[in-house]
Amino acid sequence: MTHQEILRLLPYEKPFLFVDDLLEVTKDSSKGTFTFDRNLDFYRGHFKENPVTPGVILTECCAQIGLVCLGIYLMRKEELEKSNILIGMSSSEMEFLKPVFPGERVTVVSKKIYFRFQKLKCEVQMYNAKKELVCKGTVSGMLKIEVDG
């Protein structure tokens, strides 16, 4: 499955799509980027005069690149094209080390811990453009295919 096919199958769209480019996907890992546009609505209220990307949004970006893109890659392509992908994040444990400001580009690197019984668990790390670790942790979720009639 190509990177573009995976991106097309993501069940998100702007303004809640936090994947610009998928750089690499294997059976054990994924890597992608996202640039936080200065005009994203949450910046207007998240710290007056000094906007910072909320941790929950950083976690979502890590989950979309590190969990959902990898999960789509691990599922069978033939089934995906005739179905809806149902995804539910079941847990996350993140540590935030540096702020991400409006306009910053980040890279998310994910390594699969396990994928069994439709549950995927990954170790994720997010880096800024200076290659500094921004946040790290684990995310897990359930991935299910709902086949169309």
pLDDT band, residue 45 (cuts 50/70/90): confident
Residue range 64-85: average pLDDT? 77
Nearest alpha carbon to residue 113 among 59, 70, 62: 70
d(CA 123, CA 146): 26
More confident site: 60 or 74: 60
pLDDT of residue 48: 80
Cis ω before 15 (30° cut-off from 0): yes
Indicate the pTM of the whole model.
0.89
Burial class (CB in 10 A: 0-12, 13-18, 19+), 16: exposed
Q: How far is CA 115 from the centre of its chain?
A: 16
Residue range 18-40: average pLDDT? 96
Please pick, among 7, 17, 42, 46, the residue that the annotation labels catalytic: 46
Annotated catalytic residue 46? yes
The string of pLDDT tens digits covering residues 114-127 is 998 889 999 999 99
3-147 architecture in CATH?
A: Roll (3.10)
Residue ranges of domains in the chain: 3-147
Residue 32, both tokens: 């992608």
CA atoms within 13 A on the CB side of 91: 8
